[in-house]
Amino acid sequence: MKKSKRQRFQIILIVLVPIFILLNSILRNYPGFVEKYYSTGIDKPIRQFLSFITGIFPFSVAEFLFFILVMVLLVMIILMFVRIRKGEFFRRLLAVGAYVSALYIIFMLVWGFNYDRLSFDKIAGLKMEKSSEKELYNLCSNLIDRANTLRKSVKENEQRVMYIPGGYQDVFKRVQLGYDSASKLYPELGGKYGRPKPVLLSEQMCYTGITGIYMPYTGEPNVNIKIRDYMLPCTAAHEMAHQRGFAREDEANYIAYVTCTAHPDPDFQYSGVMLAVIHSMNALADVNIDDCRELVKKYSEGVRADLKDDNAFWARYEGQIEKISDNVNNAYLKSNGQKDGVQSYGRMVDLLLADYRNKTVK
């Protein structure tokens, strides 16, 4: 490609960015349109195709692609400053801008507009409303009872901590069963996709506090395999929710709960309920710490052991890197319009409350 044509193409890419940003802002007002024509329309086969191609490989293509994309960007930035004396700074700056713009445009085309789709409460037919403190307390109590019961059916290691004999490989093989069951009620969760992938640098990933990540460019759900076994099923299910086009983190958490509790195996059910316990109890602690402390006493020895082990595990990785990672992640989520609106306890807990209220009334 000749210089003039290449530069015109680069300028077009950069100009497209504000157009896509404006389009994204407009589409947020039309979730039904996005749901029908993008999320379950043109984007679903794209996600499935990417997942099929990368699913051929036993390793995470996303992990390697991430480092390649970052290295290319770093090299382009270095060259931009090295060539200042040769008068190529602005030409190189244009190339950097076009490269970043291309990544953003591809991201939006293959996945990004899913942030604008119908919220999962609309899809699930759940009534979201402001809940009382008493309702939250009852939800937490119910979830703890369920966790205590399910904990009796899972395996324990020598430290009396829950473990999965087959490890993450076994979890990745079985996780689809939960989606198969849940998709009978919610067809939007159905479809053929590749399995979750283990992150090779899981140990290093722990320092960021990240348990999993979905790569839109490859259609792969990636899981940090160093995390505690009781969190492996719900984490895999969470990333698979992103794979199915549910971009919002809080909704992916709820879908992980739904698919894990719909799973035929008790270790998956326990993982999903424990995810709900953690979020709900954190919400209760924010509004009434005394009630929270009262309910903590209800934890069975097994549940208590799992939570203690999990806290000890993450304490080894706390530090500045995790804080930076949290800030970057929060900025990313806010840029994509992830807000809880008028809800009281965060969308994950509000969905749990709506589901609990719906089942209690019935």
Query: Per residue in 34-63, pLDDT tens?
Result: 999 999 999 999 999 999 999 999 999 999
- Residue 162: name the closest of 233, 238, 212, 213 by CA: 233
Q: At a CB cut-off of 8 Å and minimum separation 6, what does 302 contact? A: 148, 151, 152, 154, 156, 160, 162
Neighbour order of strands in the sheet with 220-223: 197-198, 220-223, 212-215
Query: Are 148 and 242 found together in one domain?
Result: yes
Query: Are 153 and 170 found together in one domain?
Result: yes
Report how far residue 182's alpha carbon sits from residue 185's, in angstroms, rounded to the nearest whole number. Answer: 6
Query: Are 86 and 139 found together in one domain?
Result: no
Of 56, 84, 116, the domain-final residue? 116
| Confidence grade of residue 319 (pLDDT, cut at 50, 70, 90) | low
**C-alpha pair distances (Å), 66 with each of 62, 172, 214, 362:** 6, 22, 11, 47
For 314, the enclosing helix (H) or strand (E) is helix 301-315
DSSP state for residue 38 in the 8-state scheme: I
Query: Are 129 and 237 found together in one domain?
Result: yes
Length of the chain: 362
Given a cut of 80, whether residue 85 has pLDDT beyond it is: no
Query: Are 217 and 341 found together in one domain?
Result: yes
Given a cut of 70, whether residue 1 has pLDDT beyond it is: no
Query: Are 217 and 303 found together in one domain?
Result: yes
Q: What is the largest CA-CA distance in the chain?
A: 74
Q: At a CB cut-off of 8 Å and minimum separation 6, what does 127 contact? A: 121, 354, 357, 358
Which residue range is the domain that position 72 belongs to?
Answer: 3-116
Instruction: For residue 197, report the phi and psi dihedrals to the nearest 5 degrees.
Output: -120, 145
Query: Are 126 and 112 found together in one domain?
Result: no
For 220, the enclosing helix (H) or strand (E) is strand 220-223
Query: Are 165 and 301 found together in one domain?
Result: yes
Query: Are 95 and 163 found together in one domain?
Result: no
Query: Are 157 and 259 found together in one domain?
Result: yes
Query: Per residue in 99-121, pLDDT tens?
Result: 999 999 999 999 999 999 999 99
pTM of the predicted model, to two decimals? 0.91
Q: Which residue has the tokens 């939006």?
A: 108
Of 72, 87, 116, the domain-final residue? 116
Query: Are 11 and 109 found together in one domain?
Result: yes
**C-alpha pair distances (Å), 199 with each of 59, 62, 102:** 8, 9, 26
Whether 237 contacts 332, CB under 8 Å? no
Query: Are 105 and 125 found together in one domain?
Result: no
| Confidence grade of residue 333 (pLDDT, cut at 50, 70, 90) | very low
**In total, how many domains does the chain have?**
2
- pLDDT the model gives residue 195: 95
- pLDDT the model gives residue 343: 41
Of 116, 131, 153, the domain-final residue? 116
Given a cut of 80, whether residue 86 has pLDDT beyond it is: no
Q: At a CB cut-off of 8 Å and minimum separation 6, what does 40 contact? A: 188, 245
